[in-house]
A and B are shown apart, each in its own frame.
Chain A
């Protein structure tokens, strides 16, 4: 692998072009472009998406922002749909009907992945298709107006887990999907984010795409509308998530856990929560205990991860 250089890599032609209609400051298209940049220029890709912000904003008839072959069929089945295309590729390669290398990549939001599409994802990974499933995790159903998902963090204010006088936002903790996918014992699982110069995400995408067999990437993709941070602060919000260990960067290669980043100084979770309007209601005198509870859970999960990675 050549030394990572963002400047030269961004000289590669974009495979998701500009002109799509995602919001300014949205994490999702950055995630997608970085993942697709990891494809070798000579390789073709079949990209599938689940219904969600990404799909409805990038492929509006008669336009498409996708340079590769693209398919969207429904919300809960990006993994199954792409697995079918991959099966076609296997069969048609046998009969010599297709040649050259085609790679198969599915993108789903957290709703399309953690929730309604979870069964389809689990099935496709278990069957061993040579494909990558990428979850761009913005922690709610953004396309339909910021409803809670099982990925929404505890106490976040969403339109179906609103912060009220009696209930302070979502009452459950976030599902740890990356761990669930690691338990599938597939060749490659990683958690990443658009962080600093994108190296972490780029290199994980490259491994995921070029490791034979199924691979799963869970990538934090902040949404300024749902998270209510100041739009230009996208990269800062991601940094705070990583430095507070709310969203650790790690990978599971053939079952082996590897920690990719350990903050030199672990910052308090409140530093991450503070710039986000979805947590604003927590910053009152009576809700101090809730902030403490969130800190404890982050610490618990982080310590467990350190153990798994042999870093404890």
Chain B
């Protein structure tokens, strides 16, 4: 029987980590992810896990220690936010290129400057090309479920890549909500024992990791990494199916909410999708064919699937909680529109950047986005492709 509880997102992922019982956790505090290593170190102190907890002196060292540990054959996890993720940046690429299946919770927070502790997605969006798989979560339940699935995805022999599980700082990390936990033994059975292929502690087969790689080989190594990312698509779906059998909760590349006959839709990540769903329901009550797509998997990017899901619509608004400073829209917009070029050419697409630095986004504001889409659907005219929502002019 599943265990019903009321937990914050941070508590939920800390409990998932206790259930997974990794060999090594190396972490450094930063708001709003700090509670994760705090809760977890209490599990260590109470002997509830066998984990070696390494309280490093920085996030750069956190990721470096995770790399050393995972290379040594240990199942390894960490958590961070914002500046912590930024400080890890150099090591993120190295973790991925060494094919180390580290699993990290990224509790999304705005990047400095100016310094701001509240939620947006500038941190994980900045790491989108680092070679990590990225899973995004609407609420505490998804954060918990995705973290457990992440272990299986990362360690799969055809993938062998690190995974970040991203959820919204404070909104999800600190708000207490209902959750259904899986029994400890079932989580343990689901993630299974970690059996690394090659590792540093195998004295019978010493290996060398991290060589200087000249032009004669570097390119092939990068392509091999991209192939693992390609393989991840299949594995993510297989793991999701197995997870559904265990819990009844269904996961895919993205969630389609009332999309069946939709004419207009918003694409939005994480907790804002929850607010947007209530708007969709209201509009549906008024007879407006509104829908929503909430991407779960941003890396690998489900190019074809999301492109096809948007085909046939009249207008789509992609909402980005990160500014890319490209002057051509946020990161989510750029990629989704690129997919639409192949699969949904006739659908108009616009971008809204919203909620930077934790600016609240209310249902009435999201309604304005749908209103814009309804006008575009009716007139066939896009007045403005690149827009900001909820900003003071």
Binding site for B on A (CB under 8 A): 44, 46, 48, 55-56, 59-64, 66-74, 76-77, 79-92, 94-95, 97-98, 100, 102, 119-120, 122-124, 126-127
The 10 closest A-B pairs by CB, nearest first: A84-B68, A123-B57, A84-B65, A88-B74, A88-B72, A44-B203, A72-B210, A80-B64, A80-B61, A64-B208
- B91: Cβ under 8 A from any A Cβ: yes
Binary flags per residue of B28-61, CB closer than 8 Å to A gives 1, else 0: 0000000000000000000000111011111011
CB-defined contacts of A127 to chain B, threshold 8 Å:
54-56
- B237: Cβ under 8 A from any A Cβ: no
A120 & B64 in contact (Cβ 8 Å cutoff): yes
- B391: Cβ under 8 A from any A Cβ: no
- B66: Cβ under 8 A from any A Cβ: yes
CB-defined contacts of A87 to chain B, threshold 8 Å:
24, 26, 52, 54, 65, 68-69, 74
- B213: Cβ under 8 A from any A Cβ: yes
A-B contact count (CB 8 A): 169
- B189: Cβ under 8 A from any A Cβ: no
CB-defined contacts of A100 to chain B, threshold 8 Å:
203
A74 & B94 in contact (Cβ 8 Å cutoff): yes
Q: Which residue, A62, A74, A80, A120, has most C-beta atoms of chain B within 10 A?
A: A80
Rounded to whole angstroms, the CA-CA distance of A143 and B51 in the bound complex is 38
- B73: Cβ under 8 A from any A Cβ: yes
Option from B60, B72, B211 in Cβ contact (under 8 Å) with A80: B60
Binding site for A on B (CB under 8 A): 23-24, 26, 50-52, 54-58, 60-61, 64-74, 76, 90-91, 94, 98, 200-203, 206-214, 217, 221
A73 & B201 in contact (Cβ 8 Å cutoff): no
Option from B50, B69, B211 in Cβ contact (under 8 Å) with A84: B69
Rounded to whole angstroms, the CA-CA distance of A130 and B68 in the bound complex is 14
Option from A63, A71, A74, A91 in Cβ contact (under 8 Å) with B91: A74
A123 (CB) vs chain B CBs: closest residue:
B57
Rounded to whole angstroms, the CA-CA distance of A201 and B65 in the bound complex is 28
A70 & B206 in contact (Cβ 8 Å cutoff): yes
CB-defined contacts of B23 to chain A, threshold 8 Å:
88, 91-92, 95
A68 & B206 in contact (Cβ 8 Å cutoff): yes
Rounded to whole angstroms, the CA-CA distance of A53 and B167 in the bound complex is 41
Rounded to whole angstroms, the CA-CA distance of A29 and B98 in the bound complex is 26
Rounded to whole angstroms, the CA-CA distance of A75 and B97 in the bound complex is 16
A82 & B57 in contact (Cβ 8 Å cutoff): no
A81 & B68 in contact (Cβ 8 Å cutoff): yes
Rounded to whole angstroms, the CA-CA distance of A12 and B217 in the bound complex is 34
A55 & B212 in contact (Cβ 8 Å cutoff): yes
Option from B65, B203, B211 in Cβ contact (under 8 Å) with A59: B211
B50 & A91 in contact (Cβ 8 Å cutoff): yes
CB-defined contacts of B57 to chain A, threshold 8 Å:
119-120, 122-123, 126
Option from A56, A66, A91, A95 in Cβ contact (under 8 Å) with B208: A66
Given A120-B57, A123-B57 in contact, is the A88-B69 Cβ separation under 8 Å? yes
